[in-house]
Structure 1
């Protein structure tokens, strides 16, 4: 699965405009300054009650449901799993599950990442995989995750929705993210230190200077040029990270690693064809430099999805959450 390559957000008012007008108006409203970590911290992310839309076939020891929740006035769909039986005292531990790039127009709530989510569900965690805005049947327009806060908002409101659920222990929630989802996970953990632990696979976890100068990945053909142009608009307005490091550092989770509220476990294949393994290595060093606990796994010769070590990586991730949640 390819990581998303740029951007994200639109307002509720756009939903009533013609499709072409929605796109132009949404992109016109995108401002990279809205990605500031401090600005994100100043906002609230209440989420909402999880509304059940469809009951799916159950897993081995858990239920599966398509649900929806609210994020910035948009209705976002998600896949929820809940362990069978009576919740333990205080409620179930939970994992917010942040997927990587999938072309939004082909994305389906019940497809992709099935084995990944199943591993955590079978281990006794509630899991919630957000579709993100504009994906599948979620409202809003899919503009990506790197240059505006829409997807981050959706992840934070997924977290808020879990905290409202009486079946869940709000003090025992972690995040798992793959690729772009790793970018969102790291951001969320610097925004809200109540997130107790995070696991990132093949994460887009570099600062903005490295994202712009050291990520030679070709943007997927499914991303419209008008969306790719948002980065150009941002650098035209604010300069490049080299020209204006203060601005871009304020947007980067890497600047705020000392504020993490829990440990990270990082996984990557040495032959990752989508995300440079150097991003992983740099983040490990940055975390150690500020005294944050981190566990790093590099899988020789493996790819972006860790296909050759899938079971090992899942077992390690499950064990990490059991230890830290």
Structure 2
């Protein structure tokens, strides 16, 4: 961690355009491989309170920060009131989907989702990935650069350090891109005991690159979109070089999961193909892993029509498995 800090200090003193160029120059798709991710350490840090917010019905809310690769990452923390169970509260690392980084705010979006878990007696921590809101660093997307994965893993490391949390009772919830990050985290670190994914980008890289008709949001800079092109130029396509791309796909490592997964998706999801959900469900069953699968007729990407049902199922799943 000291080496990372030494490298980061001069980097943060560069103009924003130079920071972006420097961050891009360091990116290599090979850094996304699961074996490479497992070789790294993710100590996180103590959660530092930045601001105390109005409390929820039975829990406190605070904006906190933690360390990830020498960067200051902000997050929204909820902690139940009352006497914790023996060993500490169970916790959920909460991974949000794509929101334009410059529009992202710590206390906006996903409020009802996080509130449901907080009211049910879970500590929750929703990270503002690097480059989002006030978090330091460059937002380079989650699929071809390792930064967001590192931020999620260091959020996990930070939660484990918190004396109010039982480190043996930690799960992950992820939506859309956050589902991609949650699945990666679960195969990187078996200590994550359960995962819930809504509308998740959970295909392998061949499915993501060739079976996803979704058009990239206009808010994503071309320099970030170019990371895919650069990766293909260097390593070939998933069909031409499956050995390489399979090492990047969390779906190749499902036997290493430390706990079950619950999957939710709407049949009319306008962002993510239902095929990703179906494929992962089949792969989990083939790997002998516990899986619950829910497809909601006519449901959209946020499961708006089924929000209460999906949240109730998610809460019950975590209560049964954490």
Instruction: Confirm or deny a common fold (TM above 0.5).
Output: yes
Deviation of 1:86 after TM superposition, in Å, equals 2.0
Mapped to 2, the partners of 1:281 and 1:208 lie a distance apart of 15
Mapped to 2, the partners of 1:123 and 1:162 lie a distance apart of 18
- 2:251 corresponds in structure 1 to 254
Question: Using CA pairs below 8 Å that are at least 6 residues apart, which structure has the higher relative contact order?
Answer: 1
Deviations 1:64-93 (A, max 9, x none): 000000000000000000000122110000
Q: Kindly indicate whether the alpha-carbon contact (under 8 Å) linking 1:12 and 1:74 is maintained by their aligned counterparts in 2.
A: no
Deviation of 1:13 after TM superposition, in Å, equals 4.5
Q: 1:59 aligns with which of 49, 56, 61?
A: 56
Secondary structure of the corresponding residue to residue 263 of structure 2: strand
Deviations 1:257-312 (A, max 9, x none): 01000000000000000000000000000111111110000000010000010000
Q: Does 1:314 align with 2:311?
A: yes
Q: Does 1:17 align with 2:24?
A: no
- 1:105 corresponds in structure 2 to 102
Secondary structure of the corresponding residue to residue 169 of structure 1: strand
The 1:12/1:313 distance shift into structure 2, 3 A limit, reads: farther
Give 5+ residue unaligned stretches, structure 1: 1-9
Mapped to 2, the partners of 1:290 and 1:89 lie a distance apart of 33
- Cα RMSD, aligned residues only: 0.9
Mapped to 1, the partners of 2:8 and 2:284 lie a distance apart of 35
Q: Kindly indicate whether the alpha-carbon contact (under 8 Å) linking 1:99 and 1:129 is maintained by their aligned counterparts in 2.
A: yes
| 1:194-205 map, 5 Å | 194-205=191-202
- 2:4 corresponds in structure 1 to none
The 1:32/1:13 distance shift into structure 2, 3 A limit, reads: farther
- 1:242 corresponds in structure 2 to 239
- 1:292 corresponds in structure 2 to 289
Structure-1-length-normalised TM-score = 0.96
Q: Does 1:206 align with 2:186?
A: no
Q: Kindly indicate whether the alpha-carbon contact (under 8 Å) linking 1:11 and 1:26 is maintained by their aligned counterparts in 2.
A: no
Q: Kindly indicate whether the alpha-carbon contact (under 8 Å) linking 1:12 and 1:140 is maintained by their aligned counterparts in 2.
A: no
- 1:141 corresponds in structure 2 to 138
Secondary structure of the corresponding residue to residue 161 of structure 1: helix
Mapped to 1, the partners of 2:194 and 2:293 lie a distance apart of 14
- 1:3 corresponds in structure 2 to none
Deviation of 1:213 after TM superposition, in Å, equals 0.3
Q: 1:174 aligns with which of 171, 175, 185?
A: 171
Deviations 1:214-247 (A, max 9, x none): 1110111100111101100000000010110000
Deviation of 1:14 after TM superposition, in Å, equals 2.8
Deviations 1:125-172 (A, max 9, x none): 000000000000000010110011100000000000010011100000
Q: Kindly indicate whether the alpha-carbon contact (under 8 Å) linking 1:14 and 1:26 is maintained by their aligned counterparts in 2.
A: no
Q: Kindly indicate whether the alpha-carbon contact (under 8 Å) linking 1:205 and 1:280 is maintained by their aligned counterparts in 2.
A: yes
- 2:117 corresponds in structure 1 to 120
Deviation of 1:99 after TM superposition, in Å, equals 0.2
Structure-2-length-normalised TM-score = 0.97
Secondary structure of the corresponding residue to residue 216 of structure 1: coil
Q: 2:263 aligns with which of 255, 261, 266?
A: 266
Q: Does 1:78 align with 2:94?
A: no
Q: Does 1:95 align with 2:95?
A: no
